[in-house]
Amino acid sequence: MSSVFEGTTFCIHTFGCQMNKHDSERVSGMLEGLGSLPVETIEEADLVVFMTCCVREAADTRLYGQVASMKNIPLREGSPLGKRYSAVGGCIGQRDGEKLLKALPHLDVVFGTHNLGSLPGLLRRAIERHDRASEVLEAGEAFSSDLPTAREHTWAAWLPITVGCNNFCSYCIVPYVRGREKSRKLEDIAQEARGYVEAGVKEITLLGQNVNSYGRDLYGEPRFVDVLDAVDATGIERLRFATSHPKDLTDEVIERFGTLRSLMPALHLPVQSGSNRILEAMNRRYTRERYLSLIEKLRAVRPDIALSTDIIVGFPGETEADFMETYRLVEEVGYSQVFTFIYSKREGTPAAEMEDDTPREVIQDRFDRLVDLVQRKAFEANQAELGAVVDVLVEGTSKRDGAILAGKSPKNQTVHAPIPSGIDAAALIGSTVPVRIEEARTWYLSGTVVDA
Ligand code: SAH
Ligand code: SF4
Ligand code: F3S
């Protein structure tokens, strides 16, 4: 089937979460395998793939405009296809299917979250038979990990351990577009991890909407801790995971932060709200007190652990008192990073039916106050690093200055340091260097390499 793709170019625009980014690596792997060449921009591309997200309205409305405006971009010189072909996949593809083809007359292909592997066939049909096609499955092809991949970085890999979600938080569209939770076999995960280690990968991030419930469908009980142990045993240098639902975070997993060599001292633990009334309306199934007790346990095991979280401001019915509970929780925990979102109504979710009469300005004001606090706390957390020597996994050079290396600390902080003289920046990528921290800003640290 490779012939139609030979000599073509493609670009992928990815929105949304790491699951989508990982899926894009698979799409890239498939298209490259068929002889198409990856390029950065739509101008240079014969094939354009949008991997979309509908978790919030903003990401959603933008897509239609972007696809529509593509028709104004001239085809590159020398394109073997005579026309630019476009495809929409990911969560909007899954949700809207055929509707997208109707709304966007220049769009050629729609595919969903369960059938990434169908994309080359659908594109080929469009190219050879001028047949616009949409294919969306309700559930299906178990894991995109069985498809070829073109990883974004040679030193880091995302490894999905579950797909889908069973939690149905009342505001969230994800369970409707990613389907029910399905776990991959432990042996398959370990095998993929071993392959990465052999290929020189330094950091593995285990992926799932709720990694803590891993294995419930396969083994009748959650066995996430076994995944952690198995991947650690491969000899990987750094191990991370996302996302963790507080209701399923077990003492055993917490304990691994103190015992597993490769498990990095950083945890993303979305709280969403600090008010018990709102947590209940969100169907999160934990209380503020239980969440705080998890934080306490984590810090007892690993006092330096860096915590990050997600918060939704302006959930239907949120009062000033509810918001202040969230505010005080953020103050108390002292997160290194908080992803703050204004509630966005998603059709088809239970929260979309709830009475929602808080004025927009009131919500914006709460949001701004929270962002100020988050920045102050992140700045404070980073000050504690001054003078410390941290191991930095080098990712490349700073966007603003090619003579400065950029990488991540074990706590996932961005660290900058001048490249030591006589050392080739490219050779440093993927290696770990010790950096003494001399400056601490809100969103990054900088210092000097002490011993490259
Ligand atoms: N499975 C993960 C990530 C879900 S989406 C988890 O449970 O944490 C990432 C974040 O987007 C969520 O944590 C939530 O904070 C936010 N989000 C989801 N739906 C939203 C909505 N309707 N409005 C605003 N933010 C939302
Ligand atoms: Fe959405 Fe909740 Fe599932 Fe996360 S756990 S994906 S917020 S339903
Ligand atoms: Fe968005 Fe889909 Fe991820 S809706 S957050 S891309 S699962």
167 lines ligand 2 (CB under 6 A): yes
Residue list, annotated binding site for [4Fe-4S] cluster: 17, 53, 91, 165, 169, 172
pTM here is 0.95
Q: Which CATH class is domain 145-383?
A: alpha beta
Start-end of CATH 3.80.30.20 domains in the chain: 145-383
| Element at 259 (helix H, strand E) | helix 251-259
Mean residue pLDDT of the chain comes to 95
Residue 241: nearest ligand to its CA?
1
Residue 1 has pLDDT above 90, yes or no: no
pLDDT of res. 103: 94
pLDDT of res. 330: 98
pLDDT of res. 143: 67
Fold for 2-135, please state it: Rossmann fold (3.40.50)
Closest residue by CA, ligand 1 atom 1? 209
Cβ atoms of 135 and 124 within 8 Å: the answer is no
CA dist list (Å): 120 to 85, 146, 265, 274, 352: 12, 15, 40, 46, 36
The rounded distance, in Å, linking the Cα atoms of 15 and 108 is 19
The rounded distance, in Å, linking the Cα atoms of 384 and 80 is 57
Backbone angles phi, psi at 315, to 5 degrees: -60, 145
pLDDT mean over 216-221 = 92
Start-end of CATH 2.40.50.140 domains in the chain: 389-449
pLDDT mean over 69-98 = 95
Cβ atoms of 84 and 11 within 8 Å: the answer is no
CATH of domain 389-449: 2.40.50.140
First to last CA, the chain: 48
The number of C-alpha atoms within 13 Å of 263 and in the hemisphere containing its C-beta is 22
Identify the three-state secondary structure at position 339: strand
The rounded distance, in Å, linking the Cα atoms of 401 and 405 is 8
Q: Tell me: the pLDDT tens digits for 356-415?
A: 999 999 999 999 999 999 999 999 999 999 999 999 999 999 988 889 999 999 999 999
Residue 452 has pLDDT above 60, yes or no: no
Cβ atoms of 390 and 435 within 8 Å: the answer is yes
Encoded tokens for 391: 């191991």
Residue 180 has pLDDT above 80, yes or no: yes
Q: In the structure, what pLDDT confidence band is assigned to residue 145 with cuts at 50, 70 and 90?
A: low
Nearest-atom index, ligand 1, CA of 172: 19
Nearest-atom index, ligand 1, CA of 210: 1
Encoded tokens for 327: 């505010």
Start-end of CATH 3.40.50.280 domains in the chain: 2-135
Q: Tell me: the pLDDT tens digits for 329-338?
A: 999 999 999 9
| Element at 226 (helix H, strand E) | helix 224-232
Q: In the structure, what pLDDT confidence band is assigned to residue 298 with cuts at 50, 70 and 90?
A: very high
Task: Using a pLDDT cut of 70, give the percent of the chain over it.
Answer: 98
**Residue whose C-alpha is closest to residue 22's, from 192, 139, 191, 138:** 192
Q: Tell me: the pLDDT tens digits for 13-23?
A: 999 999 999 99
